[in-house]
Amino acid sequence: MAKRGKTVRIRGSRPGFWVYAGLAVVLVASVFPLYFSFLIGSGDASTLRDPNRSWIPGGNFFANAAAVMNDGAVNFWLALWNSIWSSTIIAVSVVVFSTLAGWAFAKLRFPGGPALLAFVVATMAVPQQLGVVPLYVLFSEIGWTGQIGAIIVPALTSAFGVFWMTQYLRQSVPDELIEAARVDGASMIRVFWTVGVTAARPAAAMLFLFTFVTAWNNFFWPFIVLDRQNPTLPVALSLLQSNYFVDYSIVLAGVVLATLPLLLLFVVAGKQLVSGIMAGAVKG
């Protein structure tokens, strides 16, 4: 990074010290903010403002975590549970419906297909903000404000998901396979089930991960429509700050707690996420 000449590849040649030094800087930059929040989260109210604080975590993390968990106004456990089940439903639903639609767009010919696919892609440019006012009016009309259903239903399908599965299935399934199955008398859904779903599995796994992470971290719409008594984790975190801004050790202990589940997911599936982003990029 420091010396341009060295970072730039002559392909296949062994990279020098500077490449590893640069990557180490990236690693530290990625990890440091998380460590910092654990550091402050394990101290007490004065830690953040103490210029001579130690870089070794203090012993208050569990006390601070308990303060977060037992805070009746923030509802941490309910928020955790809400985040888990709503993100899971959204991710499963997006994967199922995107695989179905992607299969149709990639492998079935039907009048209007290409135009409808173009329409799906075009909807990706519509900003979320354009829908929030009427959606709020709609959901308050049917009494769903404050309900997790209000954040699940609009997210049940995704234009990105449909596009992603279409691209993947178009490249990974030979048409002869479908024709052979049709000739053997398989119904459309049978062909989808045996040929399509089997082929779609790797892309479906990545779509699940992306959708899950996005749904878990989503803030704007849940913040608007959810009750303060029935939050998701990001909404609960935002409440923590307004309740505890004088004691940042509790706020950042809450951040650590809320980030842990996704860090675990990242440890387990980070490799897939990496290859998913890279696979998606080649087509983009």
The helix-helix angle for 159-172 and 197-217 (nearest 10°) equals 150
Nearer to other proteins, 31 or 73 (CB): 31
Q: What is the largest CA-CA distance in the chain?
A: 76
CB 39 within 8 A of CB 61: no
Find the part of the chain contacting other proteins (CB under 8 A) among 57-65, 66-74, 84-92, 240-248: 240-248
Q: How far is the CB of 277 from other proteins (least distance, A)?
A: 5
Q: Site residues for other proteins, window 151-210 (CB under 8 A)?
A: 153-157, 159, 162, 170, 175-176, 179-180, 182-183, 185-190, 192
Q: What is the DSSP letter of 14?
A: P
**116 belongs to the binding site for other proteins (CB under 8 A):** yes
CB burial of 226-263 (b: ≥16 within 10 Å; e: otherwise) equals: beeeebbbbbbbebbeeebeebbbbbbbbbbbbbeebe
Helices H / strands E in the chain, number of each: 14, 0
Return the number of other C-beta atoms located less than 10 Å from residue 129's C-beta.
9
Q: How far is the CB of 173 from other proteins (least distance, A)?
A: 11
Q: Judge residue 75's burial from the number of C-beta atoms within 10 Å of its C-beta, 0-12 exposed, 13-18 middle, 19 or more buried.
A: buried
**84 belongs to the binding site for other proteins (CB under 8 A):** no
Find the part of the chain contacting other proteins (CB under 8 A) among 63-71, 72-80, 118-126, 197-205: 118-126
Q: How far is the CB of 74 from other proteins (least distance, A)?
A: 13
Nearer to other proteins, 72 or 282 (CB): 282
Q: How far is the CB of 51 from other proteins (least distance, A)?
A: 5
d(CA 153, CA 216): 15
Q: Site residues for other proteins, window 243-282 (CB under 8 A)?
A: 245, 248, 251-252, 255, 258-259, 262-263, 265-266, 270-271, 273-274, 277-282
Number of residues located near other proteins, criterion CB under 8 A: 119
**237 belongs to the binding site for other proteins (CB under 8 A):** yes
